């Protein structure tokens, strides 16, 4: 399969990741098993999921500063994915290293795919929330309303992302408890909150 064909297939995997994230992760983990090579997603799926996550968060970040003009909107479109991406990047090694120390058999690529599927799902949810933020930004243009709406959106998407990651972890290793995955999500939330504060994402 050439690169263009692999890219088209990988782009279609985004929809699959949103609908059935566990199955995508299971197909990737089974890629080395005889008879599963053709069903496994291409390695390009990692880049596609990452780009999807960045674009979704950037699009939502753009709407967070609609009241401030083009310059602040573009800056917010950079800061939102930068803050979220930094939090996941810093915390990801801990997920793999501590999970392995606790007896997990997942390799790093499968752990990375589980994280990317989760952030890609979250980015799609943020993209779907753009009309909500847009509506309230126009209908009720006050700092308190903007903060409330964006806080609710981020909290709601965060809960959905936590559910996706825990489902994927359970599908990959059903016999192991998900306690550490939950603790790791809290860690990501704390680090992400620090970066959002540092970059002034919620300075609305």
Residues ≥6 apart with Cβ < 8 Å to 16:
23, 24
Write the pLDDT tens digit of every residue in 124-137: 999 999 999 889 88
Question: d(Cα 18, Cα 102) in Å, to the nearest integer?
Answer: 29
Computed over every residue of the chain, the mean pLDDT equals: 86
Closest to 73 (Cα-Cα) out of 137, 151, 139: 137
User: Is the pTM value of this prediction over 0.75?
Assistant: yes
Q: Are 63 and 146 in contact (CB under 8 A)?
A: no
- 141-162 pLDDT, tens digit each: 888 989 999 999 999 999 999 9
Which of 149, 182, 164, 76 minimizes the C-alpha distance to 119?
164
- Mean of the pLDDT values across residues 59-74? 89
Q: What is the mean pLDDT of residues 101-114?
A: 87
Cα(181)–Cα(32) distance, integer angstroms: 25
Query: In this predicted structure, what is the pLDDT of residue 17?
Result: 76
pLDDT in tens, 32-52: 666 555 567 788 888 889 998
Contact (Cβ atoms closer than 8 angstroms) between residue 129 and residue 157: yes
Contact by Cβ (8 Å): 13, 46: no
Answer whether 164's CB lies under 8 Å from 21's CB.
yes
**What residues have CB less than 8 Å from 30, skipping those under 6 apart?**
36, 39, 40
CA distance 140 to 168: 38
Can you read off the two tokens belonging to residue 170?
């359970």
């Amino acid at each position: 399969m050439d690169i263009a064909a692999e890219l088209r297939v990988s782009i279609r995997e985004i929809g699959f990741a949103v609908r059935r994230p566990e199955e995508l992760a299971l197909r990737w983990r089974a890629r080395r098993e005889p008879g599963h090579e053709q069903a496994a997603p291409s390695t390009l799926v990692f880049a596609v999921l990452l780009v999807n996550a960045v674009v979704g968060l950037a699009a939502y970040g753009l709407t967070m500063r609609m009241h401030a003009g083009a310059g602040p909107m573009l800056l917010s479109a950079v800061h939102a994915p930068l803050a979220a991406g930094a939090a996941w990047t810093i915390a990801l090694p801990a997920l793999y290293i501590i999970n392995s120390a606790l007896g997990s058999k997942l390799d790093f690529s499968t752990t990375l795919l589980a994280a990317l599927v989760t952030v890609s799902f979250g980015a799609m949810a943020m993209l779907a929330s753009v009309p909500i933020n847009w509506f309230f930004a126009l209908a009720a243009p006050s700092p308190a309303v903007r903060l409330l709406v964006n806080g609710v959106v981020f909290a709601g998407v965060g809960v959905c992302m936590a559910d996706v990651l825990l489902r994927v972890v359970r599908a990959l290793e059903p016999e192991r408890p998900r306690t550490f995955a939950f603790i790791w999500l809290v860690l990501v939330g704390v680090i992400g909150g620090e970066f959002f504060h540092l970059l002034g994402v919620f300075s609305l």
